[in-house]
Amino acid sequence: YGWEFQLVSEECYPFIQETCGWDTILSEDCEKYYVQDFYFTGWNYGGASEELIMKEIIAHGPVASVINAPSFLQMYDGGILTEDCPADPKFISKKNGRSSRFQNQA
User: What are the extents of the domains in the chain?
Assistant: 1-35, 41-66, 67-106
Model confidence at 88: pLDDT above 60:
no
- Greater confidence (29 vs 105) lies with 29
Could you tell me the sign of the dihedral formed by the alpha carbons of 31, 77, 70, 53, in that order? positive
Q: What is the pLDDT of residues 27-69, one digit of tens each?
A: 778 888 888 777 778 766 667 888 998 999 999 888 887 777 7
92: amino acid identity, one letter: I
